[in-house]
Structure 1
Amino acid sequence: MTVDRTGVDLADALAWLEPDARLRAAEGLHRELVVRDVGRELINLASNDYLGLSTHPSVLAGAHDAVDSWGGGSTASRLVAGTTRAHADLEGDLADFLGFSAALVFSSGYLANIGAVTALAGRGDLIVSDAGTHASLIDGCRLSRARVVVVDRGDVDAVAGVLRERPEERALVVTDSVYSIDGAPAPVGELYRAARSSGAALLVDEAHALGVRGRGGRGLVDECGLSGAPDLVVTAVLSKSLGAQGGAVLGDDAVRAHLIDRARTFIFDTGLNPAAVGAARGALGVLRAAPDLPDRLRANAERLAQRLGADRPAAAVVSLIVGDPAVAVDAATRCRERGVLVGCFRPPSVPHGTSRLRLTVRADLDAATIDRVATVVGGVLSEMGLR
């Protein structure tokens, strides 16, 4: 038997998986799926169901109606036979709500970001990426084959400097509008001005701002007065505030036409399933009818942060840094045992030394529930000596 320096049998091509798993476990980075069962009531502050719409009657009715009309799946890529009238109607609704002339729906937000980035920048182009962007944008940058320069989170001067000194003719700046880890807003207006002044386009991921910021939940781009602005592309998800599934890219008609021709994650992927399409349309209807939902959401987030002694949140996320990944896992487990489900974020989701509990608040939680969560989480942190 031939072995390498770690003792792994070289004749077994996947023998390295077990020692690699042991190393991850020793570093506190092993992950397991937590199964949620019907009937076991946990207060869920780990999801991104910000407005609590995933179980709203109108959202469920939209899903049921779409399944009745179109079946359980789209059956093909959207360019073959997977585009239904429901897809077209959803795209019209999204474009109208967010203030753009066109929208294109993908089967996930991850694929929407990868499709948009790789279609809008390629070999010979430049991408300037904010260090706080989501993994889907990072992967899009890597797959684009463009030259990628990563700048510190929210550093507008750095973005402007890279754009000013670039040799490439075409450039794209990418950022989240609200950073997913801690809910802080990016300087979207300043980034747009920096990009425009240098002849670059800006792509903004509104995943954690749709339904949270802006007029009636229209996002941070709307709040900055940039909806429908030239040289601006927005991506959004249907799986967070809208309680469904899927992603979308919004821009002008030329952007939509280009993505249909060039975005591989659109061309070669089966279309978003009808149930998710119907659910998302139902959620948009609820949000239009109840534009105060984002205000309720942010008020709940502020109440929870105040009870926990955390910084005032700018969106729906309360982030509690504990440092060590194993400690974060232990704290999250103790919270779950006490009936509260919280997010546990460790590397590579966050930088080393900043593992944390991430609490995502919902608009449908009442004050008593918020206070219950604060009591449980605060109690766990206290008993572990973390506060």
Structure 2
Amino acid sequence: MTRLPEFLQARLAERRAQQLYRSHKTLAAAPGPVALVDGRELVAFSSNDYLGLAAHPEVIAAQQRGAALGAGATASHLVNGHFAIHQQLQDKIAEVTGREAALLFGSGYMANVGVINALVGRGDTVVQDKLNHASLIDGGRLSGAQYLRFIHNDLDALEVQLRRAREKGTGNILLAVDGVYSMDGDTAPLAQMATLCARYDAWLMVDEAHGFGAMGSDLFPHAGSVAAAGLDQDSAPIVMGTLGKAAGNAGAFVAGSKALIDYLTQFARTYIYTTGMPPAIAAGCVRALELMQELPLQQTLVARIAYFRQRAAVLGLPLEASASAIQPLVLGCEKTVLRVSEALQASGYLVGAIRPPTVPAGTARLRITLSALHSEEQIDGLLNALNSALQREKNAAGEAS
């Protein structure tokens, strides 16, 4: 038997030795995009605040007005924690996503775990992309359903698993995927996936954490990758989105048919057995979604992404193929990623160094995220600093060999 203190210290020492130890950076306020980090001013390219709404004065003012309703919801939504502002937010989400109804959750993690476990269990099958977010993976594992995975965005591999699930028996099949992948920035081939779901009588669930607000269609410009793929409520019946990224706030939602939302209200344990969203957060989210519709923030973000990729191509930087606000630069080695990230910070730029187990072994990367608030000058500054840091790494490697 190992004493708890010894067990904890051994595991922490192991993580430090592997260059995988994580520590907090303390921000003085939400970056806009300049952030005061541990007392130093940095330009942040590590935030998920894609539209710059986290520090928008109208969103903050709406939260302050919402706080007049109470600091907290005081109970779960089904006991007495559901306010008029919660219903207003759910109605606004349904409008933005083009769905009949929506349901609020405390976080994206709670939404994914709750929805999967409400919809499938023993005798059913969950099929997931191997690079899915941890919340989808954990939801599938906890559900008790058969759990099948397929190679990232590989439609042939997906069809093999769907056929396997359908031939296995008469249980329900749930295909759960990210719309935009948080560490790779690429999008799922949702239209083709919906076709396969129809062929094998499976239900499609899409996690829109990084798509909601940042992309969409002409009819639903902020609805996310599902809308961008041209999928309606019938072809993509279960849509999860977060309110802490492009909406700049906190919490999450599931959008779909009225029947789906009524069902989840009755059976999603992570909705039923937890305190409701603070009314201040709900009020801030309502105003954030209104601003998405009123301001050209998404168009500005798209322009910044295009500018970043154009300038990076001129410098010959090996970016991944991503059209989203997430622009990864895979360097492979954990030590290299840490050194480059530290060099960028010394130059005045905050960029996340992403290492296993968040990403597969051998794919450590810089996760560069763009915002509508970034200027072209700030983007140029980051790219020049990044190019210099990578050149130093190349020169050091040449000397070592």
Q: Using structure 2 for the length normalisation, give the TM-score.
A: 0.90
Tell me how far apart the structure 2 counterparts of residues 311 and 14 of structure 1 sit (CA, whole Å).
42
CA contact (8 A) 1:200 1:231 kept: no
Letter in 2 for 1:95: A
What is the CA-CA distance between 1:289 and the residue it aligns to? 0.7
CA contact (8 A) 2:204 2:235 kept: no
Query: What SS does the corresponding residue of 2:19 show, helix, strand or coil?
Result: coil
Structure 1 residues 306-358: Cα deviation after superposition (integer angstroms, max 9, x where no partner): 33333553110111111111221222122122211111111111110110100
Query: What SS does the corresponding residue of 1:159 show, helix, strand or coil?
Result: helix
Query: What SS does the corresponding residue of 1:42 show, helix, strand or coil?
Result: strand
Task: Tell me which residue corresponds to 2:174.
Answer: 172
Tell me how far apart the structure 2 counterparts of residues 83 and 385 of structure 1 sit (CA, whole Å).
57
Tell me how far apart the structure 1 counterparts of residues 227 and 4 of structure 2 sit (CA, whole Å).
52
CA contact (8 A) 1:77 1:268 kept: yes
Aligned equivalent of 2:335, options 326, 330, 333:
326
Query: What SS does the corresponding residue of 1:41 show, helix, strand or coil?
Result: strand
Task: Tell me which residue corresponds to 2:26.
Answer: 35
Task: Tell me which residue corresponds to 1:192.
Answer: 194
Letter in 2 for 1:22: A
Structure 1 residues 257-282: Cα deviation after superposition (integer angstroms, max 9, x where no partner): 11111111111111112222111111
Segments of 5+ residues of structure 1 without an aligned counterpart are 1-9
Question: What pairs up with 1:1-387 in 2 under 5 angstroms?
Answer: 10=1, 12-38=3-29, 40-68=40-68, 70-166=69-165, 167-169=168-170, 170-215=172-217, 216-229=221-234, 232-290=237-295, 292-308=296-312, 309=317, 310-311=319-320, 313-385=322-394
Query: What SS does the corresponding residue of 2:329 show, helix, strand or coil?
Result: strand
Q: Work out the percentage of aligned pairs sharing the same amino acid.
A: 36
Tell me how far apart the structure 1 counterparts of residues 200 and 236 of structure 2 sit (CA, whole Å).
11
Tell me how far apart the structure 1 counterparts of residues 257 and 223 of structure 2 sit (CA, whole Å).
17
Tell me how far apart the structure 1 counterparts of residues 78 and 70 of structure 2 sit (CA, whole Å).
18
CA contact (8 A) 2:62 2:280 kept: yes
Question: Which has the higher mean CA deviation after the structures are superposed, 32-41 or 351-360?
Answer: 32-41
CA contact (8 A) 2:351 2:368 kept: yes
Question: Which has the higher mean CA deviation after the structures are superposed, 156-165 or 186-195?
Answer: 156-165
Question: Which has the higher mean CA deviation after the structures are superposed, 88-97 or 18-27?
Answer: 18-27
Report the aligned-residue RMSD.
Answer: 1.6
CA contact (8 A) 1:107 1:273 kept: no
What is the CA-CA distance between 1:196 and the residue it aligns to? 1.4
CA contact (8 A) 1:302 1:313 kept: no
Structure 1 residues 276-298: Cα deviation after superposition (integer angstroms, max 9, x where no partner): 211111111111112x3222212
Letter in 1 for 2:307: R
Letter in 2 for 1:179: Y
Tell me how far apart the structure 2 counterparts of residues 207 and 13 of structure 1 sit (CA, whole Å).
36
Letter in 2 for 1:351: P
Structure 1 residues 191-242: Cα deviation after superposition (integer angstroms, max 9, x where no partner): 1110111111000001111122213322111112213225620000000000
Q: 1:168 to 1:254 in 2, by over 3 A?
A: farther
CA contact (8 A) 1:236 1:247 kept: yes
CA contact (8 A) 1:98 1:227 kept: no
Q: 1:192 to 1:230 in 2, by over 3 A?
A: closer
Q: Using structure 1 for the length normalisation, give the TM-score.
A: 0.93
Tell me how far apart the structure 2 counterparts of residues 56 and 342 of structure 1 sit (CA, whole Å).
22
Q: How many residues align?
A: 376
Task: Tell me which residue corresponds to 1:3.
Answer: none
CA contact (8 A) 1:210 1:236 kept: yes
Q: 1:110 to 1:15 in 2, by over 3 A?
A: same
Letter in 2 for 1:113: N
